[in-house]
Amino acid sequence: MVEAKRPGMMPMSLGEVAQATGGHLLAEPEASGSASGSSLQVTSVATDTGQVQAGTLFVAIAGERVDGHDFLTVAAEAGACAALVAHPVEGVSLPQIVVDDTVAALGRLAAHNLERRRELSTPFTVIGITGSVGKTTTKDLLAALLRELGPTVAPVGSFNNEIGLPLTALGVGESTRYLIAEMGASRVGDIAYLTSIVPLDIAIELKVGVAHLGVFGSVERIAQAKSELVQGLRPQGVSVLNADDERVAAMAKLAPGRVLWFGLGQVQGAVKQDELDMGAANICTDSLDHPHFTLQARGEQPLEMELGLSGIHNVINALAAASVAHELGLPTERIGQVLAQQGHISPHRMALSQVEREGSSFTLIDDSFNANPDSMRAGLHALSTWGADEQTQPASKPYRIAVLGGMLELGEQTLDMHRTIGEYCARLGLDALIAVGGSGNDLSAMAGAMVEGASAYSAEQEQAQSTLVVYKAVDTQEADQIVIELTGQHPGSVVLLKGSHSSGLSDLAERWQGERLGVAR
């Protein structure tokens, strides 16, 4: 395996940076003994002073609460060689490159860095990933696979917007073989902008769901936004499409080159299972919810394998990553071995641990990074099947608790979708639902809607088939106390944390993980 080393950017002088960003260089006379400072070499870029080191260009971004221009002195003390600013900052002993918009200039600099890399004679491939769910997991799996083939740069966490993506692209240096670019969208045009910075050789389309439905207005508009990834391919670029999603499958007509299909072959009228380039069959899960399945690469012998990740929904993410790795030359057998080893991905995404709280202990499934209806259902399904392999007797299943926060940006359908999630908890036969509110009426109303949906379904069951116990917690502190009580009564419980970032459930996960006993496998 090639060592997983993150190379630095293509070194640039301040003069080159100024030219690439369309900025004007204001340099300190003493800078490296140069009257202009233009001979200084930039070897890294950061927007956080905590990431600054010698040779770093500090990019000052004015946010809603914090303005990076106020931290130029801190950046200089940390070793920054220059700063990219929207206006000159007085009293700072640091060369400054003044631009009209530092975020836009950051994008221009990233694009220039990739152009410099493509000018070299050695091969370089850029892979883009988008989808309403699964982007970060697929990115993590693909990064693990491609590091078997060469030095790979991939985003940290979910760096998938107009700031995070350029920062990732500025990690590409002369030895980088692969760049993985995760691309998110809050509106039509976002991905088109991102692909203008990072033109793609391969595009992975995962799923068109209802995330940000309130912003986009319709699923059709979401599909339009996601299709910008395929349209952002370079000439003859390869499209890797989910055959099980009809809206994704329709993007084939936009593809400039070859199309690779992955999926389970479950959609009528789409690509059939024997026509898939990468498929899976005979899917089941073990008692820890690790999927086992038969991996089928077109034209090859089937391969029996398992995932190190929990959640049957991760099979489709693994197929997407496997499709690209196989296309780039990684043997199927090695793909299976690497995917089986990936038990840890980005924080708060189906992360498993054992937690002890005030005398009670439980297994935590921390999927609290964010949530939309599609990912919420996937997480709940994983919870429902936990400990339920073919040999498990119903009476021995663990007590399953869903701690759910609100899902944002769903527009007029917000409360209806939360009621549906509550009903889904009851349909799955979970044992307890704790719907968590928060500051502001919106989160409280979302929690109330989940409670309504679960209670209404349970009341409709003539023979009380649903045994779900439902709670509405005012905040995460109350939810914490309810979990302590329930897990104390039911040793060996399993708890799922899932909600949008503003619900605060990731903070609750951090609190619990401060007391965790170890990773559950």
248 annotated to bind ligand? no
* 77 lies in some domain: yes
Q: Say yes or no: 293 and 200 in one domain.
A: yes
Q: What is the 3-state secondary structure (H, E, C) of 13-81?
A: EHHHHHHHHCCEEECCCCHHHCCCCCCCEECEEECCHHHCCCCEEEECCECCCCEHHHHHHHHHHCCCC
> Residue 39: is it exposed, middle or buried by C-beta count within 10 angstroms (0-12/13-18/19+)?
middle
Q: Say yes or no: 312 and 359 in one domain.
A: no
Q: Print burial letters for 84-112: b (CB count within 10 Å at least 16), e (below 16).
A: bbbeebeebebbbbbbeebbbbbbbbbbb
135 annotated to bind ligand? yes
> Residue 491: is it exposed, middle or buried by C-beta count within 10 angstroms (0-12/13-18/19+)?
exposed
Domain boundary among 341, 366, 390: 341
* 276 lies in some domain: yes
Domain boundary among 281, 306, 341: 341
How many residues in the chain? 521
Domain boundary among 280, 306, 341: 341
Instruction: Show the tokens assigned to 242.
Output: 């989910």
Q: How far apart are CA 453 and CA 322, in angstroms?
A: 38
Q: Say yes or no: 175 and 53 in one domain.
A: no
* 286 lies in some domain: yes
Q: Say yes or no: 278 and 144 in one domain.
A: yes
Q: Say yes or no: 221 and 292 in one domain.
A: yes
Name the DSSP class of 254: G
205, containing H or E segment: strand 200-205
**Domain containing 82 — which CATH number?**
3.40.1390.10
Q: Say yes or no: 333 and 368 in one domain.
A: no
Q: Say yes or no: 91 and 129 in one domain.
A: no
63 annotated to bind ligand? no
Q: Say yes or no: 129 and 213 in one domain.
A: yes
Instruction: Show the tokens assigned to 417.
Output: 């979708």
* 108 lies in some domain: no
332 annotated to bind ligand? no
* 359 lies in some domain: yes
> Residue 68: is it exposed, middle or buried by C-beta count within 10 angstroms (0-12/13-18/19+)?
buried
Q: Say yes or no: 413 and 462 in one domain.
A: yes
Q: Say yes or no: 484 and 465 in one domain.
A: yes
Give the residue from 106, 110, 88 showing the smallest Cα distance to 72. Answer: 88
* 5 lies in some domain: no
* 495 lies in some domain: yes
Q: Which amino acid is residue 233, in one-letter code?
A: L
Domain count of the chain? 3
137 annotated to bind ligand? yes
Q: State residue 1's pLDDT score.
A: 41
Q: Say yes or no: 357 and 334 in one domain.
A: no
Q: How far apart are CA 56 and CA 83, in angstroms?
A: 9
* 346 lies in some domain: no
Q: Say yes or no: 393 and 300 in one domain.
A: no
Q: How far apart are CA 115 and CA 145, in angstroms?
A: 25
**Domain containing 428 — which CATH number?**
3.90.190.20
Q: DSSP letter string over 373-420?
A: HHHHHHHHHHHHHTT--TT--GGGSPPEEEEE----S-GGGHHHHHHH
Q: Print burial letters for 448-463: b (CB count within 10 Å at least 16), e (below 16).
A: bbbbbbbbebbeeeee
pLDDT tens for the chain, 521 residues long, are 433 344 579 999 999 999 999 999 997 544 444 434 556 899 999 999 999 999 999 999 998 889 999 999 999 999 999 999 999 999 998 999 999 999 999 999 999 999 999 999 999 999 999 988 888 899 999 999 999 999 999 988 667 899 999 999 999 999 999 999 999 887 888 999 999 999 999 999 998 875 555 444 567 777 888 899 999 999 999 999 999 998 999 999 999 999 999 998 776 656 777 789 999 999 988 877 789 999 999 999 999 999 988 888 899 999 999 999 999 999 999 999 999 998 766 666 777 788 887 778 899 988 888 788 888 988 898 898 887 654 544 556 899 999 999 988 787 888 999 999 999 999 998 999 999 998 766 889 999 999 999 988 877 765 455 678 999 999 999 999 999 999 999 998 999 999 887 788 888 888 887 654 443 33
What residues make up the domain containing 18? 12-99
Contact 449, 418 (CB under 8 A): yes
Q: DSSP letter string over 129-174?
A: EE-SS-HHHHHHHHHHHHTTTS-EE--STT--STTHHHHHHTT--T
